[in-house]
Chain A
Amino acid sequence: LRTKQEDLIKYNDGSLYCELADVWIDPSKPVKKALITHAHFDHFTFGCEEYISTKETAILLKERVGDNIKIKTFEYGEEFKIKGINISFHPSGHILGSCQIRFIFAEEKWLISGDFKLQKDETCKQYEIVKTDYLISECTFGLPIFKWDESNKIANDISKWITNSPEKTSLLFCYSLGKAQRLLNEISQTNYKGNIYSHGSIHKMNNIYRELGIDIKDTIKIENKKKIDELKGSLILLPPSLSKGSYLKNFKNIQTAFASGWMSIRALRKRSGYDKGFAISDHADWDGILEVLKKSEAKNVFFHHGDSEALSKYLVEKESINVLFLGQ
């Protein structure tokens, strides 16, 4: 019988930790050595002695944490060793630079999925199926009610939403890194050919994406919020933090929407206070999670991030997949 003490990767202080390599994965507190799956704020922390990531994540991370961090980068698929453990990064399809992390020790393979999606996204590398013995998977959307529409359908809906209200400025709220760039890429392929403006935080990320060779439409940086009312028929991308507080009270001729997987549920859409919700996510839906679990051929699965109770029970009952809980 396997005991929790034997697990190569465990929970420690709320984060994933590999004791043999003395390395943390997406730690929430400053540590000596941190492997970073991607550059979203909830996946890294300031003040680590050393960061290790893909090249793209390193560039995004420096933009967010500062230039003076110590960071080592590796290409996707390139194996490197930490204290005798073979480690490699593999595309996870979540955002630019995002990765799954594979550990191999004594012929035992462990894979941390990181945040991932299987859907088409021209702004980052497609998810790579990686075979493993142990899989630590995210399950943000681990219920069968989550089934994403194709992203070009959502982009067409957004295009119609803007063009059907030519007398209004359309404010689309979305995460600054990843979602905004994916939306820009998709919207530029629709019939909407009007101006697109973006908030400074999004504009900054757009420029990095372009520097890294990702083809996304030029946007005009919003310099003066007073002008927003005058930009009828245009689209403005803003970070969700601006939808709270008094920012929106300054404008009259606007319509608002939020782009997030949670917008597929009406109650959440209504509670969010936006006029409209577009259900597009950079996480896998139910089918996506199941597909990855099966194709990874993992004999043991752990869940990390999200509410995994229902998915775990389903896998045990219907798919005979062994779901475990990570040791401390």
Chain B
Amino acid sequence: MSLKKFSELFVDLDSSNSTNNKIEVLKNYFLSNDPIDNSWAIYLLTGKSNKRFISGRYLKNLFSQIYEYPEWLIDTCYLKVGDSAEVITLLLKNKSTSRKKILSNISLNELLSKTIPDLSKLNEEEKNFKIFIFFHGFKHNLYFKIRLKFQ
């Protein structure tokens, strides 16, 4: 099942302090998913992680470059939030113009065993461009403008 579904699972788990509720939410999720995606969900929720293909610092620098935000401002946000990924997510709310989330229908398995590891095979320019597309969603009329930015 999709990344969107996993994201909903996370929000649901995060919306309750009751262990019984969380068990119920997990049960429903596992019953409606492929075994391979369930395995990835368990892997992520138990705090395991793959080799890091992109560091928090790399994402921050790239974000700063794309959206012309001073790095010190992103660092100040980090002091308030305490998590690099969350900072980028919150900052993107200010920047994302497309509501279409291109990765929402990708399976966890494809995302974690292919899409993200494949980033490391790309040269820096291609990698940055791909991450931008992930950040921004995809919009045809923006495509060429963005492409130019990374050349």
Cα–Cα distance between A309 and B77 once the two chains are bound (Å): 12
Of the four ranges (under 10, 10 to 19, 20 to 34, 35 or more), the interface on chain A belongs to 20 to 34
What residue of chain A has the Cβ atom nearest to residue B81's Cβ? Answer: A265
**Interface flags, B1-36, vs A, CB<8A=1, else 0:** 000000000000011111000000000000000000
Q: How extensive is the interface on chain B, given as a class?
A: 20 to 34
Q: Which residue of B lies closest to A310 (CB)?
A: B76
Stretch from B54-62, B83-91, B118-126 that touches the partner: B83-91
Map CB proximity to B onto A114-152 as digits: 1 under 8 Å, 0 otherwise: 000000000000000000000000000001111100000
B86→A143 contact, CB < 8 A: no
Are A314's CB and B18's CB within 8 A?
no
Docked-complex contact B94 and A286, CB < 8 angstroms: yes
Closest Cβ of chain B to A175, distance in Å, is 21
Instruction: Please tell me if the beta carbons of B94 and A266 are within 8 angstroms of each other in the complex.
Output: no
In chain B between 72 and 131, which residues have their CB closer than 8 angstroms to a CB of chain A? 72-73, 76-77, 80-83, 86-87, 90-91, 93-94
Distance in angstroms between the alpha carbons of A287 and B83 in the assembled complex: 22
Minimum CB–CB distance from A106 to chain B (whole Å) comes to 37
**Which residue of A143, A161, A276 contacts B76 across the interface (Cβ within 8 Å)?**
A143
For residue B10, give the distance in angstroms from its CB to the closest CB of chain A: 10
With an 8 A cutoff between CB atoms, is A273 at the interface? yes
Instruction: Find out whether the CB atom of A161 lies under 8 angstroms from the CB atom of B15.
Output: yes
- In the bound complex, residues from chain B placing their C-beta under 8 Å from that of A309 are 76
Asked whether A190 is an interface residue with its Cβ less than 8 Å from the other chain, the reply is: no
Interchain CB contact (< 8 A) of B15 among A267, A276, A313, A318: A276
The answer to whether B82 touches A314 (Cβ under 8 A) is no
Chain A interfacial positions (CB closer than 8 Å to B): 143-147, 161, 255, 264-267, 269, 273-276, 286-287, 309-310, 313-314, 317-318
